[in-house]
Amino acid sequence: MFTFSESSEKQIEKIMKKYPVKRSAILPLLALAQRQDGYITPEAMVEIGKRIDCSPAYVQSVCSFYTMFYTKPVGKYVIQFCINISCHLLGCDDLLEYTANKLNIKVGETTADNKITLLKEECLAECSAAPVMRLNDTYHTNLTREKIDQILDSLD
Amino acid sequence: MDKEQVTLTIDGKTVTVPKGMVAVDAAKTVDIDIPVFCYHEKLGPFGCCRMCLVEVEKMPKLATACTLNVSQDMVIKTDTPKVKKGRNGVLEFTLLNHPLDCPVCDKGGECPLQDNTFEHGPDLTRMEYNRAHHDKATPLSPVITIDRERCIACQRCTRYSDIIEKDTALVMLNRGFHNEVGTFNNEPYDTRFSGNVVDICPVGALTNTQYRFKSRNWDLKNAESLCAHCACNCNIVIGTRQNRFMRVQAKSSENSVSNDFVDDGWICDKGRFGYQFLESKNRILDPRENGIGDSRAGVIETAKKVAASFKKIAEEHGPDSVGFLGSPFGTNEELYLYQKLFRLGLGTNNIDHKLYADSPGLPVDHYDMEDVESADLVLTIASDPTEELPILDLRLKKAVSSLGTKLAVLSDQQTLMDCFACHSLRYNVGSDGTVLQSLTDGLGKKGFKKNKGFETETGIESDAFKELIASLKKSTKVCVIYNPEKLTGDSVHILKSFLTALDKNSEGTCGAIPAAPATNALGAMDMGVLPDYYPGGIPVSNAAKIRELWGDSAPVTEGASASELIQKAESGELKALWIYRCNPLVDFPGGAKLEQALKKLDLLVVHDMLETETTRIAKVVLPSNGPGYDEGTTTNIGGRVQFRKRGIVTQNPADWKILGAMLKELDIESDYRDSFEVTSEIASTVPGYSEVNRKNLRKFGHQREKVSNPKVPESKGSSEKAPDKNALRLRVSNYLFAHDKILDASSSLAHHFQTSSIYIHEDDAKSLGLSSGAEVTIKSDWGEIKAEVQVNNRCNPGGALVPYISDEQGVASLLNPDGGPTWVTFKN
Amino acid sequence: MKLFLTHNIDTKDLHSIKVYKKQGGYGSLEKAFAKKPDEIVQMVKDSGLRGRGGAGFPTGLKWSFLAKDVFPRYLACNADESEPGTCKDRVLLQKNPHLLIEGMILCAYACQIETAYIYLRGEFYDLAEIMDKALEEAYEAGYLGANILGSGMNLEMYTHLGAGAYICGEESALLNSLEGMRGEPRLKPPFPAVEGLYGKPTVVNNVETLCAVVPIMNEGPEAYAAVGTEKSKGTKLVSVSGHVKKPGNYEIPMGLPTRDLIYDLAGGIRDDNELKAWIPGGSSVPMLPASLVDTPYDYEAIAAAGSMLGSGALIVMDHTTNVVEEALRLAGFYMHESCGKCTPCREGTRWLHQILSDIHLKKGKESNIALLEDICDNMSFKCFCPLGDAAVAPVISSIQNFREDYEELLNLAKAGTAS
Ligand SMILES: Cc1cc2nc3c(=O)[nH]c(=O)nc-3n(C[C@H](O)[C@H](O)[C@H](O)COP(=O)(O)O)c2cc1C
Ligand code: SF4
Ligand code: FES
C-alpha cells in the first residue's frame, strides 16, 4: 500500500491547480512519491494513476522514460556525477574513480550501509564550473579530490 | 467534412485525392506501394520508423510519406537514388539488432520486415557487434507470446492499446535503445481485444500462442469468413492447413480490406482465440437414435425419416401437436428453411427462437454500426456492449473520443462504457418500463416534471433525466442502441413508442440498432422464426399477404411461443418438438421441471453442433456442422447481411442440404444446389431482403432494407412488489468469456473464466448482513445457485446482479418461466 | 561593452523583488500596457532578437505565427538547459529570476496569453525553488494574477520540473512532457504556434530570449539592434568551458571575434597550451579547428565557418586532447538521450558509439571511418527530430577536421595487432 503523507497531500492540492489537465501532474506526483519513499514503488504508480485518471501501465511508461526516477531503493544521498564533455576535459573520470574507490563501490551502486549511491550523469548544466556533481539537490562545482573528501566526510 | 480534392504527381502519375490525405494512402490509389512499418491507417500518422522516406520537390530533406499531407501540385518521387539510399539505410538500422531468426519465426512469409528488406534493404550486414539480447518468446498473456528481440519499436501495439482500446494497458517502457513493449509490473496483457496487436505487429514480436509453430504461413489456406460469437458478425480470416483449423485473424488492411461497416478491421479475443470448438471432441458427427449413434446411417436419411415422423404426428394429432425451437445462431438460410418446413410442411406456427418479448421491425431507421460515428448522440438502453457486442464497444469509444459523438448510457447496471458517457443513468432493476414511458412522455407535449414517485420507482434523479431528454431533443442525429433481451416484460414495446416519439420530437434525425447479442438474432426475427410473424415481419394476422407469398396452406393462426411450447410439452398437448442449435436445459428457466416436460414428448429431436444437456435426453440427434463448416448469410445488429464462408470442409451434409431433403420429403419443392439458391429464394419472398444477392454480398455485405414495421403492440405493463422484504430483484447480465459449450475447459481463454458471483448494493448488503466474499446460496421460487457476494454497487439498491459466467452455474434455473420478475433471497 | 542581460547580475540579492525593483525592475510593464499587443510583437521583430535556445529563429516572427483568434494560448519558457556545455540560463534563473518573469509577462501580453509555464530540467530543483519564491513575490506585488496593474491583463505563471531527459529541451517533447507524457517529440507540422500545449497555440522560448525582451522594451528595439552585426543583433550570453583559464558565462556583443572571447574574457588556454579545437554552440554543433578562431561569434559567421552558434556554449580543447575521445563522450551522450522513438536515431547513436569505442580502445579498423561517415549520412535529416542530426555533428566534424586523431588511434590498433 502506498499513501501520500499529509504534507504531500497539501502539495498535491497546489500541484493539481497548476494544470487544466490532470495528467500534467504526473511528473510532480512521481517526484513527490520519490521524495517521500526515496524511490517509486509499483503501489505508488497505482495511486498516482488514480489521481490523474491514467492506467498504472501509463504511469510506469512515463516514469521509466525519465532517468531521475528511481524504481529501486537508493541511498540516503545520491551523487550524480557529471561525465559529459566539459567535465571530462577537466578530469572528471579520475575524480569519479576516486570517489568510487573512496566509497568502495562501483559506479551505479549504493554503499553497504545504504547511505550513498553513486551515479554517472550526463551534463548537469554547470559546465563553466566543471567538474561538477549533484548531491541530492545541491550542486558541487570545481571539484578536486580534496573537495570530494570534504564533501563526503561531511555527510552524516 | 472537408472534401476538397487536390491533384498531385507521384512518380510521374497524376493523382487526385482528398486534400490532407497522407502520401502513403495517396500513392496506394495509383498502386504505388510505399513501404511502411509504423504507419497503420486506423492508428494514424506517427512517423517513427522512417521506412517511408520519399523525395518531395522543393523540400530539402526526404519526407516521411506516412505523415506527409498531400497538397495541390505536390511532386513526390518514391524511387530516386536518394530515396533508395535512405530506405536502405533505415532498413539497415532496423535490422541492426533484429535477431534474423526468420526460419523459426511465425511471422515468416507474411512479415513486412522480410518483405521490405527483400525489396529495399541491404543485402549484407555491416554490423560487427553482438546483437542486443532479450529473453526469447515469453508470455505476454496466456494467448500472446512476445519476443522482444524482434521488436522494431514501431509502437503500433502500444498506440493500438491507447488509441483504439483506450486502456493504455500495453505501453512503451524505458527510453532510447532500452525501449520495450510491456505492461504494468509485468502483469499479463489480458484485455478483451488484446489479440489485435498480433495482427498489426509488423514483425514476429507479438505472436498468437495458440498458433505458434503450428504452420508456415504459406502453407495456410485462408478463408474470409465471419465470426459467429456475437451479433456484430465481424469479418475474420480463418487459416487452415490440410483442412485443420490453425488460427483466426481479423480481416484488416494487413491481409485484405477491412470491413469498416462492421468491425473497422478489429476483432475481440473471443473471436480470435475462441475457435477451438471447431475441433471440439464434443462435436456431433453422426446421427443418433435412442441414444445409439450410427455412423453408417446417413444424416440425410435419418433426417428424412424424422421429418416423416413429424408429419405423421401432425396428421394424427393436429398440426399444433408439433413445434420448433430454433436458435438465433443459425444462418438466415437455415432458419428460413426451418420455418418453411414447419409452416408449409407441417402446417403450424409453433415456432420460436427466443424467450424475450420483441417484434420485428422498427418505427425509425435501422442504423448500421457505422452510423454510430456520425451520430452526435448515442443512447444505449439496457445494453452492455463490452460484454455483449465487443466490437461495438470499440466503435463507441472511437466515436466518443475522436469523432465528437456524445454517449448516454441508460441501464440498470454499471458498464465499462459509463466512463465514456456524458449521461450515465442507472435505473432500478425492473423499472425500465416506467423509465421508457417517462422518456416517451418527456419528449412529447407533456414534458417531464420533477417527480418524487418517478425517482423512488426508478432510482433516477429527475434533473439528470431532464438533461437526457433535453439532449435527445436537441441532437441532430440520435442513435438508440438497445438490448431487447435485457428489457423486462414487454417494455420493448414501450421502447418502440419512445422511438416514434423521438422521431417526432427531436430536432434532427434518429434511428436505432436493436442489439440482442446472439449471432443472428436479427436474422432469426427477419426470417420469421416466430409464432406470430412470417419472414420480413409480416404478422400472422395479415392472412391476405401471407397467402399471396406463401400459398393457401400457410397457417395464419398464432402459434405457441418458446415458453408456451414447454408448457404444452408439460401438459401433453405437444407431442413432438424439434430443437435446433439450442440448449433449453441450460438456457431456459424451469430447471428439473423443464427436463421432465421435455421427457414427456413422444419425439424430441435435437439438431446441433455440440453435445449438450439437451442432446442427452433427445430421442434423435442430428449433426449440424455450424460456423467454420457451413456457409450462409447472417444479419448483424446493423441490419447488414454478410456471407459467412467456410474454412473447413466436412463430409457431413450442410444444414441447408438436410433441410432441402426434408422439405422434399414433405412434398415441398426444393432443389437447392448451394446455399446461395436459398439466399435467392429469401430475396424473393422476404421483405427487406430483395437486394441480398451474391453480387451485393461481396466485400462488405449489404444492409438490408427495412422489414415491415407492424404496429407496435401495446405494452401490458407490469408492476410487482417484492414478495419478501429481504428479496432482491434479479438481473442476469452477460459476461463475454462465459464458460459454456463453445468456450470449454480446454479453451485458450479459460484464464478469463470467472466464478459465480452476485453483485449487490452496499445498502442491501448492510440490511442483509452480507459482505464481499461471503459464499451464499441464492434462492428463487424456481431454483437455487451458489455464488460469492460482491458488494460494489453495480446496480441500484433492491437489485441483484448475477453475471452469466458458465453453463454449470445454472443461473437460468432461478428465472421465472413465464417471463415475469424474479425475486431472490439468500441463504448462507 | 553594452550589456543587456548581465550588467547588474552581481548586484547583491538581485533575486529579491525589492532589489530587482530598485534596479528598475518591472518598469517595462507600464510602457508595454500603454501599447497594443501587436505593437510589442513589432518591437521584438524590429529588435532583430533571435531565439537563444539553439535554432536562432526570429522571436518576433515566431510570436506572430500564433494561430489567429484561437484561445487559450500558452507560453512555455524553455529552461531545460541540457545541451552539454551550456549553463547560461541557470545564471539568469539563479541570480535574476524576476527578469525572466518580467520578460514572460511581456511576451504573454504581446501574445494574449493567460497561462505560462517555466519548464526547468529536473536537476534544477534548487533553481525551481528560487523561481517559485520569485513568482510568489511577483503575485504579491500584483505583477501576476488577475488584472495586472489594472491593465485588465490576467496571467498565471507556474514552474514545472522535468525529471532527467535532454530531449525535453526540444520544444515539442517539452510540451509532451508538460502534458504528462513521455518526452518524445511530436510530429511537425503542426508547430506549437498553431497546436501546442493541450492542442492550443503556444509560444516556446528560451530563458535568455525571454529575458532579452525586457531591455528591448525598456531601451527600445533600436538600441538593442544597434549592438551586434547586420543579421545577429544584440548580445549573447556565452558559456565558456573546457581548457580555458577563466571558464564562465560571458555576455558579449554578437560578432565579437571568438579569439577575444577565448583569450581575453576567458583568460586564454590553460597552462598557455595551444588551442586545438573549439565547439562554438554546444555539443550539437560541429567542432572547429584552431585555425578558425578569428571567426566572429555570430550566427552567420559561424555558419560560414561550418558550424552553428547553437545555444552559445563554447567548449574549448587544447592540444593535449584527442578529439576522438571527446566525440566518443558525446556519442555516449546522444545514445543515452535518444528517446528511442525513431529507428535511425535509436539504432544509429548506439552503433556510432560502438564503433567509436572500438577506435578509442585501439581496436578500430581503417574501414571504420568510412562506415562512420556513411552511418552519419544515413542518419542526417532522416530522424524524427533534430537530436539525430545533433548526434552526428561531433562525429562528422571530428572526422573532417581532426582526421589525424583517428588515424593515430587506428595506427596504434594496427601496431597492436601486428605485434
Ligand atoms: C534535441 C534538442 C534539445 C534542445 N534543448 C534545448 C534546451 O535545453 N533549451 C532550449 O532553450 N532549447 C532547446 N532546444 C531548442 C528548442 O527546441 C526550441 O527551439 C527553443 O526552445 C525555442 O526557443 P527560442 O526560439 O527562444 O530559442 C533543443 C532542441 C533540440 C532539437
Ligand atoms: S512489438 Fe511489434 S507492434 Fe509492438 S512496437 Fe514492437 S514491432 Fe511494433
Ligand atoms: S511508416 Fe512512415 S515513419 Fe513509419
pLDDT by residue (tens digit) across B315-367?
999 999 999 999 999 999 999 999 999 999 999 999 999 999 999 999 999 99
Closest partner residue to B153 (CB to CB) among C165, C346, C371 is: C346
Mutate to test the interface with A, among B159, B173, B178, B418 (most CBs of A within 10 A): B173
Banded model confidence at residue B592, pLDDT cuts 50, 70, 90:
confident
Are A66 and C122 in contact (CB < 8 Å)? yes
Closest partner residue to C165 (CB to CB) among A65, A86, A138 is: A65
Mutate to test the interface with C, among B43, B46, B48, B181 (most CBs of C within 10 A): B48
Residue of B25, B39, B41, B152 best suited for mutating to test ligand 3, as the one with most atoms within 8 Å of CB: B39
Residues of chain C where predicted confidence (pLDDT) is lower than 50: 418-419
Are A57 and B175 in contact (CB < 8 Å)? no
Q: Is any Cβ of chain B less than 8 angstroms from the Cβ of C357? A: no
Chain region(s) in chain A for CATH 3.40.30.10: 77-154
Are B62 and C349 in contact (CB < 8 Å)? no
The model's pTM: 0.96
Is a pLDDT exceeding 80 seen at residue B713? Answer: no
On whether the CB atoms of residues B675 and B681 are closer than 8 A, the answer is no
- Closest alpha carbon to B224 in B196, B200, B259: B259
Are B48 and C383 in contact (CB < 8 Å)? no
On whether the CB atoms of residues B622 and B302 are closer than 8 A, the answer is yes
d(CA C119, ligand 1 centre) in Å:
12
Give the pLDDT of residue C419. 45
| CATH of the structural domain C235-318, one choice from 3.40.50.2300, 3.10.20.600, 1.10.10.10, 3.40.50.300 | 3.10.20.600
| CATH of the structural domain C17-225, one choice from 3.20.20.150, 3.40.50.11540, 3.40.50.10190, 3.10.20.30 | 3.40.50.11540
Give the pLDDT of residue B507. 86
When the pLDDT of each residue in chain B is averaged and rounded to a whole number, the result is 94
Is a pLDDT exceeding 60 seen at residue B245? Answer: yes
Mutate to test the interface with B, among A48, A60, A68 (most CBs of B within 10 A): A60
- Closest alpha carbon to C189 in C172, C167, C169, C209: C172
d(CA B202, ligand 2 centre) in Å:
7
Are C160 and A18 in contact (CB < 8 Å)? yes
Ligand 3 atom with the shortest distance to the CA of B64: 2
Q: Is any Cβ of chain A less than 8 angstroms from the Cβ of B62? A: no
Residue of A nearest to B176 (CA): A65
> Subunits that touch chain A (at least 3 Cβ pairs < 8 angstroms)?
B, C
Backbone torsion region of residue B347, taken as left when φ is above 0, otherwise alpha when ψ lies between -120 and 50, otherwise beta: left
Residue C397, burial from CB neighbour count under 10 angstroms (0-12, 13-18, 19+): buried
Is a pLDDT exceeding 80 seen at residue A80? Answer: yes
Q: Is any Cβ of chain B less than 8 angstroms from the Cβ of C187? A: yes
User: Which are the contacts of B627, defined by CB distance < 8 A and separation ≥ 6?
Assistant: B225, B226, B228, B519, B644
Residue for cell digits 401495446? B714
Are A124 and C183 in contact (CB < 8 Å)? no
When the pLDDT of each residue in chain A is averaged and rounded to a whole number, the result is 97
Interface residues on A facing C, Cβ-Cβ cutoff 8 A:
18, 20-28, 30-31, 52, 54, 61-62, 65-69, 80, 83-86, 88-90, 122-130, 134, 137-139
Closest partner residue to C343 (CB to CB) among B67, B85, B93 is: B93
What is the assigned CATH class of domain A77-154?
alpha beta
Are C342 and B177 in contact (CB < 8 Å)? no
Q: Convert the pLDDT of each residue in B788-800 to its tens digit.
A: 999 999 999 999 9
Maximum separation of any 2 CA atoms in chain A, in Å: 50
Q: Is any Cβ of chain A less than 8 angstroms from the Cβ of C145? A: no
Are B48 and C371 in contact (CB < 8 Å)? no
Give the pLDDT of residue B725. 83
Banded model confidence at residue B1, pLDDT cuts 50, 70, 90:
very low
CATH fold group of domain A6-65 = Arc Repressor Mutant, subunit A (1.10.10)
Q: Convert the pLDDT of each residue in B608-661 to its tens digit.
A: 999 999 999 999 999 999 999 999 999 999 999 999 999 999 999 999 999 999
Closest partner residue to A86 (CB to CB) among C117, C162, C242 is: C242
Chain region(s) in chain A for CATH 1.10.10.1590: 6-65
Work out the average pLDDT over B43-58: 97
Residue of B nearest to A62 (CA): B173
Banded model confidence at residue B706, pLDDT cuts 50, 70, 90:
confident
Atom 3, ligand 3: residue with shortest CA distance: B47
Nearest ligand to the CA atom of B134: 2
Q: What is the ipTM of this complex?
A: 0.96
Give the pLDDT of residue B719. 57
User: Which are the contacts of B197, defined by CB distance < 8 A and separation ≥ 6?
Assistant: B144, B156, B157, B160, B161, B170, B189, B206
What is the nearest CA distance from C47 to chain B, expressed in angstroms? 30
Q: Is any Cβ of chain A less than 8 angstroms from the Cβ of B684? A: no
Give the pLDDT of residue C417. 62
d(CA B150, ligand 2 centre) in Å:
8
Atom 8, ligand 2: residue with shortest CA distance: B154
Domain ranges of chain C: 17-225, 235-318, 323-418
d(CA C182, ligand 3 centre) in Å:
20
Are B168 and A58 in contact (CB < 8 Å)? yes
What is the assigned CATH class of domain C323-418?
mainly alpha
User: Which are the contacts of A69, defined by CB distance < 8 A and separation ≥ 6?
Assistant: A30, A31, A34, A40, A63, C163, C164
Give the pLDDT of residue B722. 75
Distances (CA, A) of C397 to A78, B285, C284, C390, C412: 36, 76, 11, 11, 22
Q: How distant is the alpha carbon of residue B156 from its chain centre? A: 25
Q: Is any Cβ of chain C less than 8 angstroms from the Cβ of B86? A: yes
With H, G, I as helix, E, B as strand and everything else as coil, classify residue B221. strand
Q: Convert the pLDDT of each residue in B437-479 to its tens digit.
A: 999 999 988 899 998 999 999 999 999 999 999 999 999 999 9
User: For residues B761 and B794, what is the distance between their CA atoms, to the nearest angstrom?
Assistant: 7
Residue of A nearest to B159 (CA): A58
